[in-house]
Structure formats: C-alpha cells, structure tokens
Amino acid sequence: MPIYEYYCRACKRQQSLIFMKIGDVQKSPRCQYCKQRRLTRILSRFAYHQGEEARLKNLDTNAPRDEAFYRDNRNVGLWAKKRAREMGVDLGPQFDETVEKARSGKILDDR
C-alpha cells in the first residue's frame, strides 16, 4: 500500500494519502480537508542509517554546527573522536567508555 504526500493548491495544506491499490494512484484524489481535486504530489521525507565509522569518516570537524547537531545524542563525542584521529592521538578505551556513557545519559549517574 503506497503512501504519497500531496500539497493542495486550493487550501494550501499538505497531507499524506494512502492507496489500497496501486491503480488508485492514477486517479485524481481529493483533498481530505477541502475536497478539491487541486493536489500536487510532492517529495516525501526519507532517512537513511549510517554507522559510526561512516559518520566519523564524513564528519568535517571544521564545519559550523547548528543546534540540531548537538541535540542528537549520537553526536556526543563524535567531533572529539574525529579530531583525535586527525591529530593522531589515541585517547584509549576510557575515552570511548566515557563517550558511550554520555550518549546513554549514564554519565550523570557517576556523580
């Protein structure tokens, strides 16, 4: 059952529509809010998973970061790990353990 995103040119609202059969997609759907048939199909959001090694490889330590970067707990310590690798410094297993505790929130339990 495909789900498609649409924008209604009449009421200016965005919506997701599910189709029970692929053939129904070809029909002109109605807006679920204003019932008009002035819908334009838009690109749906998507995401993909990247492992930590790939994230470290692709991370630019010199690039400015926005607030969202720091809200993601997977990013805690990512910059420091990458920077240490760039400088040829091995901070040892204790550093990795501390980073993992920070990511899980357990670092606060050690106080």
Residue 47 resides in a domain: no
CB contact at 8 A, 2 and 22 = yes
Domain that holds residue 62: 52-110
Give pLDDT tens digits for 17-55: 888 777 766 678 899 999 999 999 998 777 777 777 787
pLDDT reading at 83 higher than 90 = no
pLDDT reading at 111 higher than 70 = no
Residue 66 resides in a domain: yes
Residue 98 resides in a domain: yes
Q: What is the pTM of this model?
A: 0.41
Q: How many domains does the chain have?
A: 2
Give pLDDT tens digits for 63-74: 888 888 877 777
Residue 103 phi, psi (nearest 5) = -65, -35
Determine the pLDDT at residue 71.
78
CB atoms < 10 A from the CB of 31, how many? 19
Looking at the structure, do residues 15 and 56 belong to the same domain, yes or no? no
